[in-house]
Amino acid sequence: MPSRERPFLALGLRLVAMAMLSTMLVLVKLTGERGMPLPETMFWRQTLPALMLLGWLGARGQLHRLRTARPWVHFRRAMIGTAGMFLTLGVVQILPLAEATVLGFTAPVFAVILSAFLLKERVGPWRWAAVAMGLLGIVIIAGPNQTHLPALGVAVGVGAAFMVALVSIQLRDLGRTEEPLTVVFYFSAMSAPFLALFLFRTGVHHDALGWLMLGGIGLAGLGAQLLMTAALRFGPVSSVIVMDYSQFGWATLWGWLVFAHLPPATTWIGAPIVIAAGLIIAWREHVRHRQQQPSPPTASAMA
């Protein structure tokens, strides 16, 4: 096994990343309950990571790592990513944490659909079956009783997952030429000025606890991004992605401890179906990747 392959470290990093991501979503929900406008929360979520990365690279004399020949591609990714973030953070202010998190797990389902129609990838029966499973899980979670999950909240959650899938298609393209740190920086740096325009309307008057929450959102978001990226240095996507579904456990725990909410039976039935769909897609991606790798030369070929 190559020295860089450290599967247990990769799983641990991804697990901690999911805990930090869930913590960020808790803080986003709490800021919403305190009346803080979502665009302002997003501004600090993007500004703090950009400043931290800029300062860290500057201190190390590595600002050259931010050079890019594709600024317009980064800008497009930033605008689409900002719209996706608005939905992703907005849904936790509408729905309970656990349900909002599970709806986000449908992103791989939409990624398969987008790959088929935008990238013209061949999608086999396994992945189409997973798409059907994921959509069935959404129907079960939504349930017939909309007093539990309002239709608007479900629509925002599904829309957030769709935007995440759309961003993943763009990241696949950017990943050919850019390192992850560069992508993270430009996403934050290019979206922050746009979000700053909303501050003229909302203002920035908060008490000490409010500022601590906003700072925590920025720190937790940056930490989650960096840890998720670091995990991929020590293990393949098909392995570490399993830990992503631990976010449902964290969200359920936070929802119970902070908001005194436990998911109903429909969520407990639908969530495993959605998670299973995502795992099937990850497994098939792993199989496809192995099939596309060139076969090692045989002894006779090397003779």
Mean pLDDT, the chain cut into blocks of 10 residues (303 residues total):
64 88 93 88 89 91 90 90 91 90 86 78 84 88 69 88 81 76 88 86 77 90 80 68 84 90 87 88 73 50 34
Total domain count, the chain: 1
DSSP assignments along 178-205, one per residue: S-HHHHHHHHHHHHHHHHHTTHHHH---
Beta-carbon contacts of 30 under 8 Å, excluding residues fewer than 6 positions away, are 213, 258
Quick one: what percent of the chain has pLDDT higher than 90? 19
pLDDT at 130: 87
- Quote the DSSP letter at residue 298: P
In a domain, 297, yes or no: no
Within 122-234, residue ranges assigned H as helices are 125-142, 151-174, 180-196, 199-202, 208-234
Within a domain: 296: no
Whole-number pLDDT of residue 213:
92
End-to-end distance of the chain based on CA atoms, in angstroms?
25
Residue 189 lies in a domain: yes
**Tell me, what's the pLDDT at 4?**
61
Q: What is the C-alpha to C-alpha distance for residues 283 and 281, in angstroms, rounded to an integer?
A: 5
Give me the pLDDT at residue 10, please.
81
Mean pLDDT score of the chain? 82
Give the per-residue pLDDT at 125: 86
The residue segments making up the domain with residue 85 are: 7-290
What is the model's pLDDT at position 300?
A: 37
13 domain-assigned: yes
Is residue 302 one of the residues assigned to a domain? Answer: no
Phi-psi region of 145 (alpha: psi -120 to 50; beta: other; left: phi over 0): beta
- Within a domain: 102: yes
pLDDT recorded at residue 87: 93
pTM: 0.78
> What pLDDT does 58 receive?
92
Question: pLDDT tens-digit profile of 140-155?
Answer: 887 766 556 788 888 8
Q: Is residue 299 part of a domain?
A: no
For residue 127, tell me if it sits in a domain: yes
Q: Where are the beta strands (DSSP E) in the chain?
A: none
